[in-house]
Amino acid sequence: MKLINIQKITTAITLCLVLSNILSSCKKFMDVVPDNVATINNAFTLRNEAEKFLFTCYSYVPHDGDPNSNIGMLAGNEIWLSTSKRDLSVQAWDIARGYQTSSTVICDYWGGGNGGIRLFQGISNCNIFLENIADTNKVKDLSATERARWIGEALFLKAYYNYLLLRSFGPIPINDKNLPISASPAEVKVYRQPFDSCVNYIAGLLDSAYTLLPMTILNRGTELGRVTKPIAAAIKAKLLVLAASPLFNGNPDYANVVDNRGVHLFNSQEDNNKWIRAAAACKAAVDAANTAGFHLYYYPKSSLTNLSDATITQLNIRQAICDRWNSEKIWGLSNSRVGYLQNVTMVKLASQYSNISGARGQFGATLRMAELFYTSNGVPISEDKTLDFNQINQLRTATHEERFDVSEGYTTARLNFDRENRFYADLCFDGGVWYLLSSPSGSDEDTYTLQAKLGQYGGNNEIGYENQTGYYIKKFVDYNFSYSSNGVNVREYEWPEIRVADIYLLYAEALNESQDQPTSEVYRYIDSVRNRAGLQGVATSWTNYSKSPNKYKTKNGLREIIKQERRIEMAFEGTSYWDLRRWKDAAAEFNTAVVGWTTNQSSAISYYQPRTLFQQSFVAPRDYLWPLWINELRTNNNLVQNPGWPK
Helix/strand/coil for 109? coil
Q: Which residue type sits at 232?
A: A
Q: What is the mean pLDDT of residues 624-630?
A: 97
Let me know: does 247 contact 266? Beta carbons within 8 Å. no
Measured distance CA(529)–CA(125) in Å, rounded: 39
Helix/strand/coil for 419? strand
With bands split at pLDDT 50, 70 and 90, how would you rate the model's confidence at 35? very low
Is a pLDDT exceeding 90 seen at residue 305? Answer: no
With bands split at pLDDT 50, 70 and 90, how would you rate the model's confidence at 303? low
With bands split at pLDDT 50, 70 and 90, how would you rate the model's confidence at 337? confident
Is a pLDDT exceeding 60 seen at residue 524? Answer: yes
Using alpha carbons, select from 606, 349, 345 the residue that is nearest to residue 457: 349
Measured distance CA(493)–CA(332) in Å, rounded: 9
Q: b/e for 171-180, b at 16 or more Cβ within 10 A?
A: bbbbbeebbe
Is a pLDDT exceeding 80 seen at residue 433? Answer: yes
Measured distance CA(534)–CA(377) in Å, rounded: 10
With bands split at pLDDT 50, 70 and 90, how would you rate the model's confidence at 138? very high
SS (H, E, C) 498-536: EEHHHHHHHHHHHHHHHCCCCCHHHHHHHHHHHHHCCCC
Which DSSP category does 118 fall into?
-
Which pLDDT score is estimated for 466? Answer: 93
Measured distance CA(68)–CA(93) in Å, rounded: 9
Which pLDDT score is estimated for 355? Answer: 78
Is a pLDDT exceeding 70 seen at residue 7? Answer: no
Helix/strand/coil for 5? coil
Is a pLDDT exceeding 80 seen at residue 196? Answer: yes
pLDDT in tens, 156-167: 999 999 999 999
Measured distance CA(278)–CA(386) in Å, rounded: 38
Is a pLDDT exceeding 70 seen at residue 227? Answer: yes
Which pLDDT score is estimated for 462? Answer: 86
Q: Give the dihedral sign, CA 392/397/398/401.
A: negative
Q: Which residue type sits at 213?
A: L
Is a pLDDT exceeding 80 seen at residue 13? Answer: no
Mean pLDDT of the chain: 92
Is a pLDDT exceeding 50 seen at residue 606? Answer: yes
The CATH code for residues 13-80+92-291 is: 1.25.40.390
pLDDT above 70 coverage of the chain, percent: 93
Q: What is the mean pLDDT of residues 539-548?
A: 98
Which pLDDT score is estimated for 234? Answer: 98
Q: What is the mean pLDDT of residues 437-454?
A: 91
Q: What is the mean pLDDT of residues 609-614?
A: 98
- The structure's pTM equals 0.93
pLDDT in tens, 231-288: 999 999 999 999 999 999 999 999 999 999 999 999 999 999 999 999 999 999 999 9
What is the domain partition of the chain in residue ranges? 13-80+92-291, 306-495, 497-593
Is it true that 13-80+92-291 and 497-593 share their CATH fold? yes
- Please state the φ and ψ torsions of residue 539, each to the nearest 5 degrees: -60, -45
Name, in order, each residue with C-beta under 8 angstroms of 340's C-beta and a sequence gap of 6 or more: 66, 67
Measured distance CA(563)–CA(526) in Å, rounded: 11
With bands split at pLDDT 50, 70 and 90, how would you rate the model's confidence at 14? very low
Could you tell me the end-to-end alpha-carbon distance of the chain, in angstroms, rounded to an integer? Answer: 51
- Please state the φ and ψ torsions of residue 108, each to the nearest 5 degrees: -85, 100
Which pLDDT score is estimated for 36? Answer: 45
| Long-range contacts, 607-611 (Cβ 8 Å, 24+) | 607/430, 607/453, 607/454, 607/470, 608/393, 608/395, 608/412, 608/413, 609/393, 610/367, 610/392, 610/393
Which pLDDT score is estimated for 510? Answer: 98
Greatest Cα-to-Cα distance within the chain, rounded to the nearest angstrom: 77
Measured distance CA(7)–CA(61) in Å, rounded: 9
Between 203 and 41, residue with greater pLDDT:
203
pLDDT in tens, 67-125: 889 999 999 999 999 998 888 889 999 999 999 999 999 999 999 999 999 999 999 99
Which DSSP category does 241 fall into?
H
With bands split at pLDDT 50, 70 and 90, how would you rate the model's confidence at 39? low
Let me know: does 424 contact 314? Beta carbons within 8 Å. yes
- Write the DSSP string, 535-597: PPPHHHHHHHHBSSTTGGGSHHHHHHHHHHHHHHHTTTTTHHHHHHHHTT-HHHHTSSEEEEE
Let me know: does 221 contact 284? Beta carbons within 8 Å. no
CA geometry: angle at 332 spanning 47 and 118, to 5°?
70
What CATH architecture is 497-593? Alpha Horseshoe (1.25)
pLDDT in tens, 319-334: 999 999 999 999 999 8
Using alpha carbons, select from 171, 199, 45, 184 the residue that is nearest to residue 110: 171
User: Radius of gyration of the chain from Cα atoms?
Assistant: 25
pLDDT above 90 coverage of the chain, percent: 85
Q: What is the mean pLDDT of residues 604-620?
A: 98
Name, in order, each residue with C-beta under 8 angstroms of 442's C-beta and a sequence gap of 6 or more: 306
C-alpha distances (whole Å) from 255 to each of 227, 263, 584, 623 are 37, 11, 16, 17
Q: What is the mean pLDDT of residues 279-307?
A: 91
